[in-house]
A = this chain, B = another copy of it.
Amino acid sequence: MQYTETLSVASHERNQFIDVTPEVNLVVARSGIREGMCYLYVPHTTAGITVNENADPSVPQDILERLSILAPREGRYRHTEGNADAHIKATLVGVSQTVPVSGGKLLLGTWQGVFFCEFDGPRRRKLVVRVVGEGVG
C-alpha cells in the first residue's frame, strides 16, 4: 500500500525553517496507513529537509545561523546566480528524510519536528510526502 501527496510550502525569508509536522501527519492520516514508512522528498536544489527540536524556536535559528557560517552567502563561488551557498546547504542538510510511521502517525521523539529548510527564499516550494506500509483493513 502506498499513498502520495505533494504539499505546497511558502517561505517568507531567504533562510527559514518551516515546521511541517502537522501537515505531514495529516497526509499520514489520510493515507490510512498504520505501520510503515514516511518518505519526505524535496524536489529542489536550494532547499532541504531535517528533523530537529520544535519546542524552542531558537534551535532552528541557531542551526540556520551556523549553516550560514559554514556556507556564507558572500564566498568565492563559481556559480553566478548568487545562491551557491544555498546549494551547499542543501547537500549538507539533505533533500530526503525517512521517518517511521507507527499507530497511524510519525514516530517522532518527544521534542522532534519535521522542518522544511528554505535556503534561497522567499519562494513557493513543494514537498513530496509518500507513505508506504500496512493499513487497518
Binding site for B on A (CB under 8 A): 2, 4, 35-37, 39, 41-45, 50-53, 56, 58-59, 61-63, 66, 70-71, 75, 77-81, 84, 87-88, 90-100, 102, 107-112, 126, 128, 130, 132-134
Contacting pair A45 B109 (CB below 8 A): yes
Contacting pair A91 B79 (CB below 8 A): no
Q: In the complex, A36→B98 CA distance in Å?
A: 14
Contacting pair A62 B88 (CB below 8 A): yes
Contacting pair B96 A97 (CB below 8 A): yes
Known: A44-B109, A70-B70. 14 other contacts (CB 8 A): A2-B134, A43-B109, A45-B52, A45-B111, A50-B94, A58-B84, A62-B77, A63-B87, A66-B75, A91-B93, A92-B93, A95-B112, A96-B97, A109-B126
Q: How far is the CB of A114 from chain B (nearest CB, A)?
A: 11
Contacting pair B50 A91 (CB below 8 A): yes
